[in-house]
Amino acid sequence: MTAPRPWQSEADRLGHADPSDPTGWFERLWSSARSGDVTTPWDRDDPHPALASWTGAPAPGLATGTAVVVGCGLGADAEHLARLGYDTTGFDVSPAAIAAARERRAGSPVTYVVGNLLDLPHEWAGAFDLVVEIYTVQAVSRSVRDDMTAGVRSLVAPGGTLLVVQAATGTADEDGPPWPLTRAEIEAFGQDGLSAVSIEELAGPGSPGRPGTWRAELRRA
Ligand SMILES: C[S@@+](CC[C@H](N)C(=O)[O-])C[C@H]1O[C@@H](n2cnc3c(N)ncnc32)[C@H](O)[C@@H]1O
């Protein structure tokens, strides 16, 4: 049996394979991982540090309301929100990713479902008190960036909160995947009734002076 190939080089290849289908490659990548051809992509069990430090250390189980994690992958962030007490949904465009999340998080209270940010169910419009989007928008080519951003905004309930974490860039011409976000692109989450509470650029580990990570918190009135 041959060892699985690193998923990163497969993502580089697939991410450029068909510009007319900017999200189709995710299912191909996750399926290759499920069949053991490549290593597991975006493999982590701890919440992203920018989410963990934002939620702080409240008493587990005390949060109320609904939460959704966009492009949830293996579900580490969704599990974190569920532990805090949110009634949590995690969705991903890739059925193979959702199958992997359900398998890894067997017994979890999180609802893991297949869903496409570019074609969301009507009933999800304004349905979530907390929306967490980490690295999905940057993973998809700029050709659909405005639509991806609008999809994220549409999920936030009246009075709800959106937390966005993305790699930062100073220029919009970098070749991806991923395609990091400029300040203007992160500010674009603040439309359609959403306004920014804070936009921070967190330093990347060990890379002083280089573009870091955006963490933006937004609210709907
Ligand atoms: C870079 S990975 C990040 C995964 C996870 N959020 C994390 O931080 O570990 C991007 C994820 O978004 C999913 N994705 C890409 N396009 C999507 C879309 N249009 N709707 C929902 N999920 C999408 C991919 O399948 C993939 O799991």
Task: Indicate the DSSP class of residue 177.
Answer: S
**Ligand 1 atom with least separation from CA of 73:** 27
* Span from the CA of 26 to the centroid of ligand 1 (angstroms): 8
Atom nearest to 165 CA in ligand 1: 8
Pocket of ligand 1 contains residue 116 by CB under 6 Å: yes
Residue nearest to atom 10 of ligand 1 (CA): 136
Cβ of 140 below 6 Å from ligand 1: yes
93 CB within 6 A, ligand 1: yes
- Residue pair 182/21 in contact (Cβ under 8 Å)? The answer is no
- Is residue 29 within 8 A of residue 42, CB to CB? The reply is no
Torsion of CA 161, 167, 173, 179, to 10 degrees: -80
Select from 8, 26, 166 the residue to mutate for testing ligand 1; criterion: most ligand atoms less than 8 Å from CB.
Answer: 26
Q: Report how far ligand 1's centroid is from the alpha carbon of 131 (Å).
A: 14
C-alpha 34 chain-centroid distance: 20
Cis peptide before 180 (omega within 30 of 0): no
To the nearest whole percent, how much of the chain has pLDDT over 90? 85
Provide the 8-state DSSP code for 139.
G
- Per-residue pLDDT tens for 124-138? 999 999 999 999 999
Q: How confident is the model at residue 36, as a pLDDT?
A: 95
Answer for the pair 130, 66: CB distance below 8 angstroms, yes or no.
Answer: yes
Identify residue 3 by its one-letter amino acid code: A
> Is the distance from the beta carbon of residue 151 to the nearest atom of ligand 1 less than 6 Å?
no
β-sheet bridge partners, residue 150:
none
Q: What is the DSSP letter of 56?
A: -
The string of pLDDT tens digits covering residues 76-135 is 999 999 999 999 999 999 999 999 999 999 999 999 999 999 999 999 999 999 999 999
Return the higher-pLDDT residue of 104 and 18. 104
161 CB under 6 A from ligand 1? no
Please tell me the predicted confidence (pLDDT) of residue 211. Answer: 78
Q: Which residues contact 110 (CB under 8 A, 6 or more apart)?
A: 75, 78, 79, 82, 88, 89, 90
Distance, CA of 125 to CA of 187 (rounded, Å):
21
